Amino acid sequence: MSALLREYGLMVGVNALCTAVCLLASPFTALTDLVMVYLVGILFVALRGQRGPSVFSSFLSVLCFNFFFVPPRYTFAVDHPQYVVTFLVMLAVALTISHLAVRVRVQAEAAKRAEVAAETERLRSSLLSAVSHELKTPLTAIIGSASSLLQAPGAGSGRGREMLDNIREEAERLSRLVHNLIETTRLESGAVRLKKEPYPIEDVIGTALERLDQPLAGREVRTELPEDLPLVPVDPVLMELVFVNLIENVLRHGAGGSAIEISARPVAGALEVSVADRGPGLSAEPVERVFEKFFKGGSAGGGMGLGLAICKAVVEAHGGTISAGNRPGGGAVLAMRLPLAKVP
């Protein structure tokens, strides 16, 4: 409130200054020239304040001009009807200047805020990318060393082997998290160029399942992939990343004993693929929030909330859509539609 009162006070002060300048100049200039002085004052108010003070300044300028300079002076009476037209034109011009000036100022402020936000995001992405790349090499070494120790003749069994297994699994999980961070920064920066080719989606799914062989140990996976599925134009490397993240999401948040169900079918010029479970379902409201970056939905599970955000970015880069929902009878389903190649 105090800021708004200051703006109105500034407006009154500017009009008083314009009136003083016009009183000094009136013996030497025409009335039309005095109008210009008031218009400059209105422009100044509009560029500094909000719309209310600038509009009020337009009306106050017309009243001051009428009272101090239009015959008979120091009264609001008007001798000649032509001055009424002058007042209306002056008011219309003043309001137009006020509106345009306020809009320019608002746009400039919005552009400045967007620039600051973009720079902040760029610095954050650069930091994430740098840290992720620095972590990638030691994680690869840890995974390789743990795997070598497990395959060594003296690896034995019992507690020591269990600890090595745990080291390798957690290092692999952290490696996938680092990979997600790297891919996130690449996708946001526009550095990713899709290498699309007609590809069988069942091969992509199979490769993703192989990558998750250890985490999926003991977990039932049901696939419904008809043999006559059409080829879909995708970047197989990025699409594999999508399925890895979708399946990991089910492993992390779904019920431990429920089966993971993966199905695909052609639908109206697209291939619809879904990954579902019979776990507790999605608690986010609305459920589409699960695709927001760093959104975890209050889950206590691992992860940083990047996996599904990457899925959305990759699927949309392919011209497709992805959605989330709860299944009747319990469980969640993540479904995406990828456009099929047009038959010439």
Q: What is the distance between the alpha carbons of residues 311 and 291, in angstroms, rounded to a whole number?
A: 8
Give the long-range contacts of residues 269-272, CB within 8 A, separation 24 or more: 269/339, 269/340, 270/320, 270/337, 270/338, 270/339, 270/340, 271/201, 271/229, 271/230, 271/232, 271/337, 271/338, 271/340, 272/335, 272/336, 272/337
In the DSSP assignment, the letter for residue 298 is: T
Which among 278, 280, 331 is positioned nearest to 301, based on CA atoms? 280
Q: State the pTM of this model.
A: 0.57
Tokens of 29: 């200039």
Which among 210, 211, 329, 203 is positioned nearest to 273, based on CA atoms? 203
Mean pLDDT, range 136-158, rounded to an integer? 77
Please tell me the predicted confidence (pLDDT) of residue 243: 93
More confident residue, 231 or 58: 231
CB 196 within 8 A of CB 233: yes
Please tell me the predicted confidence (pLDDT) of residue 208: 92
| Mean pLDDT over the full length of the chain | 82
Tokens 């025409």 belong to which residue? 30
Please tell me the predicted confidence (pLDDT) of residue 336: 93
pLDDT range class, residue 188, cuts 50, 70, 90: low
Q: Is the pLDDT of residue 256 over 80?
A: no
Please tell me the predicted confidence (pLDDT) of residue 157: 67
Q: Is the pLDDT of residue 144 over 80?
A: yes
Class of domain 197-339: alpha beta
Q: What is the distance between the alpha carbons of residues 323 and 100, in angstroms, rounded to a whole number?
A: 42
Which among 83, 316, 299, 81 is positioned nearest to 187, based on CA atoms? 316
Please, what sign has the CA dihedral across residues 19, 20, 22, 26?
positive
Tokens of 83: 């001055």
Q: Is the pLDDT of residue 156 over 70?
A: no
How confident is the model over 211-228, as pLDDT tens digits?
888 888 888 899 999 988
Domain ranges of the chain: 1-192, 197-339
Q: What is the distance between the alpha carbons of residues 195 and 199, in angstroms, rounded to a whole number?
A: 11
How confident is the model over 312-334, as pLDDT tens digits?
988 988 999 999 988 888 888 99
How confident is the model over 230-252, as pLDDT tens digits?
999 999 988 998 999 899 888 88
Please tell me the predicted confidence (pLDDT) of residue 214: 81
Q: How many residues does the chain have?
A: 344
Tokens of 15: 């009009």
Which among 203, 267, 266, 275 is positioned nearest to 229, based on CA atoms? 266
Burial label, 207 (beta-carbon count in 10 A; 0-12, 13-18, 19+):
middle
